[in-house]
Each structure stands twice: as C-alpha cells, then as structure tokens.
C-alpha cells in the first residue's frame, strides 16, 4: 500500500502500522505517498477490513493498493 500521511503524523502512523500483525514492513519516503506498507492478508475481504477498520483514526489522507499475485524475487 502507498499512504499519504501529514508529515507531523508520519512517524507515529509508521510505528503503529509496523506493529500490526499483518504488516510485513513500513517504509517512510518522499513524494505523493510518503509511507509504503507491505501487507500480507489472506484474501480481499481481509484487505477491505484492514483499510476500512485498521487505518481509521490514523489521519491518513489517501491510500492506494496493489495486489501481488506472485513474487519472483524477495530480499534475504
């Protein structure tokens, strides 16, 4: 996921999401979206719940998702 977070909330939101059991990684960056979140969920219903429930109240102003059907190479 790519998220837009107000700069004064970036650290707190990143740390909150990094602690979530479904989040594999949270990375701060620059540009239109300033927080990238790698999320592992079992299905689209779980993705919907994450977006509609877990992201609420964090001050996120925009979110974009993309689904990975198959990873060809992963770090490590």
DSSP states of 8-75 as a string? GGHHHHHHHHHTSTTEEEEEE--SS--EEEEE--SSHHHHHHIIIIITTTS---EEE----S--S---
Q: What is the pTM of this model?
A: 0.85
Q: Which two tokens stand for residue 11?
A: 């650290």
Q: From CA 57, how far away is CA 66, in angstroms rounded?
A: 22
Encode pLDDT of 27-53 as tens digits: 999 988 999 999 999 999 999 999 999
* pLDDT value for 70: 77
């Amino acid at each position: 996921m790519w998220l837009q977070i107000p700069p004064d909330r970036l650290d707190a939101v990143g740390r909150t999401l990094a602690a979530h059991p479904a989040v594999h990684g949270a990375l701060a960056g620059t540009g239109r979206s300033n927080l990238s979140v790698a999320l592992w969920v079992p299905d689209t219903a779980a993705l919907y719940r994450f977006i509609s429930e877990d992201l609420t109240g964090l001050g996120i102003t925009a979110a974009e998702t993309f689904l990975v059907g198959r990873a060809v190479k992963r770090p490590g």
